[in-house]
Amino acid sequence: MLHAVTDEPRNYLKYGGAPMGQSEFHRLFVPYRQFQIAVRRDPNKLALVTPQDAHYSYAELDELVRTLASGMRHLGVQPGEAVCARLGNHWIQVPWFLALMRIGAVFMSISKYLTDAEAQYQLQQAGPRLVIGEGGVSIDDVIAAAGGEPVVPYGDEWGPSHIRFSSGTTGKPKMMLVLQRANAFQSKVIEDVMNVDEHDRHMVVGPLSHAALHFALPTLDVGGTVYMKEAFDKEMFWTDCARLGITSSMVVPTMVTAALGREGEAPTLRKLVSLGASLPMAVKERLLGRFPHLDLYEMYGSSECGPCTWLLPADQLRKPSSCGRAYGGQEILVADDAGDPVPAGTIANIYARGPMAVSAYVGEVAPPEIPEKLEAEGWRTAGDVGFLDEEGYLTIADRRVDLILSGGLNVYPAEVEAVLSAMNSVVEVAVIGLPDEYWGQVVAACYVGNAQEEELIALCREQLAAYKIPRRFFKLDALLHTSNGKVSRRLVREALTNGAPDL
């Protein structure tokens, strides 16, 4: 049945608004307009291929976008109101996002990994006008509702674009609002950094509720072709790249590790971007040794700050532990608890600001605490700690909340995880602190793989100070993840402390 999720859906227009003196030209820097330029340039060019092998030209994809936009307007969706997709990883979310940008509404996609209770919490927080998919309106319902006068495109770059939830690594997820201009900037930065052009064939294998959508849009903006997959398939990744002539894709480190364990060539794959966590040096060497023609990129970002830094292909082996330098108008600051910058090489709090950061926190969970002077200057933080080197390259030490204090000494889980991940027989690992009467906390390593505890201890002894070496090891069938696929140290820690060693 067609229905509003709430009697009075929230409207997010009040969180936007252009600064004084903003020209009309700049107010047209919006995602749908960027896509429209590509449509007009070559309407017959292949734009998108679905997992079912349906082919859409740019003209056909734009017609679908217009139909979805019209249907949602006829179902009562107004500018500034949210529409939530509960569609798993359905490819329709790409044109759906563009349709919402066309009518000035707000995109929200619920991860397929969430439980019903977690999904309901996000719905209650967001107050959308409609839910599309599970528990709401079907895709066919929206298409059937289309008709009448064409929808006039909404052209305000300072208008709301989409709702973003943090991954919930510290508790309940924070709810944030992103503006249309932030999405447009993000696409342009990806285009520039990765040299995206009309010859690119980009394959989507990650969750569209997170970054995968925003790595597909730049290819459409420049007239390339996007190939959609329902999910990452480690058995077919290289084969699909070769069969379809794929030139680029976005992955996370666990996907790279899994795919490297399978046979196959990818002669046309020129660009691979990894995000979500640092790629271990051993994995980089295996990947680039097997595919020497490949340009490998890494991007560090967060829900709060957007894309922050990029590690480019030329720096992958020169700066293997770094996540790169700031690009696209983004700025990085590493500062102490008072908000004062610290010298290069000093581990402290990481802050970012720029055109791709969130506009506002709009949910019940309070934003992270930031020194007043930094907040006034527009800085945001995700709660990570790290350091900048003399060249301005950022290295993530860890999340502040995950810091382990053992015997009065700081242990950063990410450092220990990087050592353990270098062993090929370790698939995934989470290092956490467990309560201990004597030490306060002891370092514990939870891992998936065939490695033996003795091997892991020997490896750690070669590369880590004694106080950083895990005192307890848990070999598990699987680790717990956040909704965006990251290993959640918090969930792993809670499961172990609650007496569930098998998770």
- The confidence score (pLDDT) of residue 24 equals 47
Residues 6+ apart with CB under 8 A from 183: 31, 101, 161, 162, 214, 217
Q: DSSP strand E in 370-439: where?
A: 384-388, 394-399, 404-406, 409-411, 426-436
Residue 112 in any domain: the answer is: yes
Q: How many domains does the chain have?
A: 2
> What residue has token string 């040096």?
281
How does residue 176 score in pLDDT terms, banded at 50, 70 and 90?
very high
Domain interval for residue 424: 403-497
How does residue 145 score in pLDDT terms, banded at 50, 70 and 90?
very high
Query: Which residues on neighbouring strands pair with residue 373, listed in sequence order?
Result: none
How does residue 229 score in pLDDT terms, banded at 50, 70 and 90?
very high
From 319, 227, 314, 306, select the one nearest 279 (Cα to Cα).
319
Task: Give yes or no for residue 493 having a pLDDT over 50.
Answer: yes
| DSSP code string of 155-190 | --TTSEEEEEE---TTSSPPEEEEEHHHHHHHHHHH
Residue 296 in any domain: the answer is: no
* Alpha carbon separation from 138 to 68, 77, 230 (Å, rounded): 12, 15, 18
Q: How much helix, strand and coil, in percent to the nearest 5, is found in the chain?
A: 30, 25, 45
Indicate which CATH number applies to the domain containing 455.
Answer: 3.30.300.30
Task: Report which DSSP code applies to 81.
Answer: B
Query: Which residues on neighbouring strands pair with residue 474, listed in sequence order?
Result: 446
Q: Which of 320-329, 356-365, 429-438, 478-487 has the lowest mean pLDDT?
A: 478-487
Q: Which of 65-69, 136-140, 304-308 has the lowest mean pLDDT?
A: 304-308
Residue 12 in any domain: the answer is: yes
- The confidence score (pLDDT) of residue 20 equals 47
> What residue has token string 């006068």?
149
CA distance 335 to 347: 9
Here the tokens at position 209 are: 């509720």
Pairing relationship of beta strands 248-251 and 472-475 according to DSSP bridges: unpaired
For the segment 219-241, the average pLDDT, to the nearest whole number, is 97
Residue 272 in any domain: the answer is: no
More confident residue, 227 or 401: 227
How does residue 78 score in pLDDT terms, banded at 50, 70 and 90?
very high
Task: Give yes or no for residue 70 having a pLDDT over 60.
Answer: yes
- The confidence score (pLDDT) of residue 398 equals 66
For the segment 253-270, the average pLDDT, to the nearest whole number, is 92
Residue 295 in any domain: the answer is: no
Task: Give yes or no for residue 5 having a pLDDT over 60.
Answer: no
For residues 256 and 233, the answer to whether their CB atoms sit within 8 Å is no
Task: Give yes or no for residue 483 having a pLDDT over 90.
Answer: no
For the segment 401-407, the average pLDDT, to the nearest whole number, is 79
For the segment 287-315, the average pLDDT, to the nearest whole number, is 94
Task: Give yes or no for residue 10 having a pLDDT over 70.
Answer: yes
The amino acid that residue 461 corresponds to is R
Instruction: Give the whole-number percent of the chain exceeding pLDDT 70.
Output: 93
For the segment 130-151, the average pLDDT, to the nearest whole number, is 90
Determine the Cα angle at 95 with ends 94 and 98, to 5°.
95
- The confidence score (pLDDT) of residue 36 equals 94
- What is the tens place of the pLDDT at every residue in 206-222? 889 888 999 999 999 99
- Domain closes at, from 157, 179, 201: 179
CA distance 155 to 29: 8
Task: Give yes or no for residue 8 having a pLDDT over 80.
Answer: yes
The model carries a pTM of 0.82
- The confidence score (pLDDT) of residue 25 equals 45
Task: Give yes or no for residue 449 having a pLDDT over 70.
Answer: yes
Instruction: Give the whole-number percent of the chain exceeding pLDDT 90.
Output: 62
For the segment 299-323, the average pLDDT, to the nearest whole number, is 92
Task: Give yes or no for residue 272 having a pLDDT over 70.
Answer: yes
For residues 97 and 213, the answer to whether their CB atoms sit within 8 Å is yes
Indicate which CATH number applies to the domain containing 162.
Answer: 3.40.50.980
Residue 234 in any domain: the answer is: no
Task: Give yes or no for residue 15 having a pLDDT over 90.
Answer: no
For the segment 377-393, the average pLDDT, to the nearest whole number, is 92
Residue 218 in any domain: the answer is: no
For the segment 376-385, the average pLDDT, to the nearest whole number, is 89
For residues 460 and 429, the answer to whether their CB atoms sit within 8 Å is no
Q: Which of 24-38, 109-123, 137-151, 442-456 has the lowest mean pLDDT?
A: 24-38
- The confidence score (pLDDT) of residue 167 equals 65
- Domain closes at, from 142, 159, 179: 179
CA distance 206 to 255: 9
How does residue 135 score in pLDDT terms, banded at 50, 70 and 90?
confident
How does residue 409 score in pLDDT terms, banded at 50, 70 and 90?
confident
How confident is the prediction for the chain on average, in pLDDT? 89
- Domain closes at, from 179, 210, 238: 179
Coil, helix or strand at residue 369 = coil
How does residue 497 score in pLDDT terms, banded at 50, 70 and 90?
confident
Task: Give yes or no for residue 115 having a pLDDT over 80.
Answer: no
How does residue 1 score in pLDDT terms, banded at 50, 70 and 90?
very low
Residue 14 in any domain: the answer is: yes
